[in-house]
Amino acid sequence: MKRVAFAVSLALSLGLPTTALAAEPPDDTAASRAQGPMLELSLAPLYGFGGARHGFGGQAGLGMFSPLWQGEGSTGSLELGLLLGYDHESYGRSDRFLGEGQVDGGTHRIEALLLAGPGLRLAAMPRVRSSLQLYGGWVQAFMHAQLDNELQSISGDYEVSVGVFSTGLALTHRLELAQRVGLDLQVRAPFPMVPAAITSYVFASLGVSVGL
């Protein structure tokens, strides 16, 4: 019951529909969870880190998982998804290499990604579903800043918008709090990783997903 209450509060805070939370307590067998295909809507706050800067934002996802196989100890699925993300990386909050107050502004990052990969649920932990997905999509970064170094009498503006194709891996663990409600922990990172590149941000999110 505590889990459902937590899920309701988290769903409300993220603006997700809560009707699905009124379902019965979950059936704790892997087989019962191997039915599908099933659509899921997810929402999560987002934390990103890269290039000695970090940012905060949110992401929304629409996913589909379809059972592929079922064994005694585990079940497997195919997981597909569409993810939209936004984060803001403030230079003032983490002004890489610069003294305090030298730079204002930041980067607004928008991502649209497609994900695909296998999912796995172990019979020993039937409430947990894990997936490892490849992703690919577009990343658009709007960077604007003003640097002001009084000591050297240097000041200048920086305005750049750049869009790049990005690929990477997303690892997701989903804990089912109720029959159709999950708590999602996701980490995704670009691959190949190119230090200091536009796409070199690692993201972590903790949010909820609801079966539609």
What residues line the site for another protein (CB under 8 A)? 51-54, 91, 93-99, 102-103, 105, 143, 145-147, 149, 151-152, 154-158, 160, 162, 191-198
Min. distance of Cβ 135 from another protein in angstroms? Answer: 15
Q: Which residue shows structure tokens 């240097």?
A: 154
Q: Smallest Cα–Cα separation from 145: which of 158, 134, 154, 130?
A: 158
Min. distance of Cβ 92 from another protein in angstroms? Answer: 10
What are the distances in angstroms from CA 146 to CA 56, 149, 154? Answer: 20, 10, 11
The Cα 121–Cα 73 span in angstroms is: 9
- Based on CB atoms, which residue is closest to another protein, 22 or 193? 193
Contacts of 127 (CB under 8 A, 6+ apart): 26, 28, 175, 176
Min. distance of Cβ 200 from another protein in angstroms? Answer: 8
Min. distance of Cβ 176 from another protein in angstroms? Answer: 33
Tokens of 109: 């990052």
How far, rounded to the nearest angstrom, does the alpha carbon of residue 50 sit from its chain's CA centroid? 15
- Based on CB atoms, which residue is closest to another protein, 98 or 134? 98
- Based on CB atoms, which residue is closest to another protein, 71 or 101? 101
- Based on CB atoms, which residue is closest to another protein, 199 or 209? 199
